[in-house]
Amino acid sequence: MFVMFMSDKRLFGFVSKGERPAELSRAGNVIKVPESKAIAENARHVLDVFDRLISYKGPINDAINEGAAAIQRGAGQQATRENTYQRVQGAVAEELRETQ
């Protein structure tokens, strides 16, 4: 599950750094640097909170366990992963609001 967050952190962080956006534009790619940095930063925050809370009872643990159970029952993997990803992001956002 957290592979999606790691992927966002790595990919969007990579393409938004230094001269990479300009280099990628040579092939016609348009990199929205502020938006890419925001996605990478959000993923970084999600991973930090996820790592702290995954082993505790609560909405993050529930989302992961329910997603895994749905896949075991035969639910579509892509849809289940996306749904779980959204639930974890929401739980992390709530946790960040509560700690501020």
pLDDT of residue 2: 65
CA distance 9 to 89: 14
Distance of CA 75 to the CA centre of its chain: 21
Tokens of residue 41, six digits? 């930063």
pLDDT of residue 100: 67
Domain boundaries, the chain: 2-99
Residue closest to 1 by CA, chosen among 71, 73, 93, 58: 71
* Tens digits of residue pLDDT in 2-36: 677 788 899 999 999 999 999 999 999 999 999 99
Residue closest to 40 by CA, chosen among 70, 66, 17: 17
